[in-house]
């Protein structure tokens, strides 16, 4: 079971940026990638396609909104590999219209809770569950898929490119996820585990729409870079294509 290779888990990876991340990691030659997919049939189809392209991938059923799945994922990696080298927290949602304008006075509690349950609470609980296995890896890597829309600095700057992109639930969930990155990286600073936030860019996905300027392969690059950082690479950072972003 690819015991001589690094083992990576990419959540929400049966399509979009997650699928492309699995594709690129799986083609590197020294990484065995496990796709987490809510729909196992779709996940298996995606894995079959990637294997046909030469990527080393497998798939498990995984839903970030179901806490029972966290333990099942732990048991899977523990039984089959005894460790986890790379965790890419790619699964995420947005329930808001990015083009409808500032919704701070109108966004519902239901949308806020559903967004945070996936983008923040679920991601933290999964990471905490899998961390004992990541500690067993020679050099663990944790990548949290954030967004430039989580930058409070840029949201407060009238001259920034995202100043008008105010959708509270999504943006706040990514800002909170960035805080988790900082805190976890600090806790693990004396280990060989590196924890970073990635902004993939505005990418042509179901969420990004066809209006986005970036293609999906480029959108996966930041995750790949942070998942394969060398021993002297950064931790506790917020990056896009190798460049730091302001918190």
3-state secondary structure of 26: helix
Q: How far apart are CA 176 and CA 150, in angstroms?
A: 8
CA angle 126, 27, 74 (to 5 degrees): 20
Query: Which are the catalytic amino acids?
Result: 163
**Helical (H) or strand (E) element with 196:** strand 194-198
Kindly report the number of other CB atoms within 10 A of residue 105's CB atom: 6
The alpha-helical segments, DSSP class H, found in the chain are 16-26, 40-52, 67-80, 109-116, 123-135, 152-155, 168-187, 216-219, 221-227
Cα–Cα separations (whole angstroms), residue 40 to 35, 141, 206? 10, 25, 20
């Amino acid at each position: 079971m690819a015991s001589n290779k690094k083992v990576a888990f990419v959540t929400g990876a049966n399509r979009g940026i997650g699928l492309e991340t699995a594709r690129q990691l799986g083609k590197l030659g020294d990484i065995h990638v496990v796709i987490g997919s809510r729909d196992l049939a779709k996940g298996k189809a995606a894995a079959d396609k990637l294997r046909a392209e030469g990527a080393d991938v497998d798939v498990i059923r995984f839903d970030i909104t179901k806490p029972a799945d966290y333990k099942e994922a732990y048991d899977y990696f523990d039984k089959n590999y005894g460790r986890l080298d790379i965790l890419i927290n790619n699964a995420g949602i947005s329930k808001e219209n990015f083009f409808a304008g500032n919704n701070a006075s109108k966004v519902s509690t239901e949308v806020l809770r559903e967004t945070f349950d996936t983008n923040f609470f679920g991601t933290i609980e999964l990471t905490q569950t899998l961390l004992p296995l990541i500690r067993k890896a020679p050099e663990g890597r944790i990548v949290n898929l954030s967004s430039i829309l989580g930058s409070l600095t840029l949201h407060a700057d009238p001259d920034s490119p995202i100043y008008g992109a105010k959708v509270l639930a999504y943006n706040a969930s990514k800002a909170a996820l960035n805080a988790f990155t900082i805190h976890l990286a600090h806790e693990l600073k004396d280990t060989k585990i590196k924890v970073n936030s990635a902004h993939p860019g505005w990418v042509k996905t179901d969420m990004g729409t066809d209006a986005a300027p970036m293609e999906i392969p480029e959108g996966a690059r930041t995750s790949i870079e942070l998942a394969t950082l060398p021993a002297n690479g950064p931790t506790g950072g917020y990056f896009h294509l190798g460049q730091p972003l302001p918190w």
